[in-house]
Amino acid sequence: MEKEYITLITALGAPFLVLIGGLITWFFKSRKEELQAIEERALERRIQTYNTLLHPLIVMFANKSNQKMKDKAITEIGSVEYRKAGFNLITFGSDEMVTAYNNMMQSFYKNESESNPKLTMKKFAQFLLSVRKDVYNKNTKLKEWDMLKFMITDIEKLTD
């Protein structure tokens, strides 16, 4: 009689353990997929935010921009949409990203580009590097000035 109970428990126990193991695996897999989907949506939102913040800056630093385009970019920086993107950055960006953005904007507000253009460019480069780290590669080997080499022909004058 005792052997029959052990056989019955063994016969019912194995499928029960398989069922429990399957449920646990399914739970963790679905949770992982849910977290990945949330992270992908957050990444898309950060990219959209960074694009909004970068657009007027790109226009201002472009060689082919005329004064009308630059004035429009400056107006864009004061717009509600731009401010909203700034709030999104503060909310969803990394600490490094927020610090770099704040430092760059303070430089613009204080008009440091007139007295110290090198410092202003460095803060802009730090902001670009922070975007890169926040969106693509936290372990990048690039430095601040590497982010501006493509757009400044005589960058050696700034980096010396």
Query: What's the pTM?
Result: 0.71
Q: Could you tell me which of 48, 47, 77, 46 has the C-alpha nearest to residue 60? A: 77
Please tell me the distance from the alpha carbon of residue 159 to that of residue 111, in angstroms, as a whole number.
21
Two structure tokens written together for 120? 């202003």
How confident is the model over 8-41, as pLDDT tens digits? 777 777 787 788 888 888 888 888 888 888 888 8
How confident is the model over 49-67, as pLDDT tens digits? 999 999 998 888 776 767 8
Q: In this structure, which amino acid lies at residue 133? A: K
Two structure tokens written together for 95? 């600490």
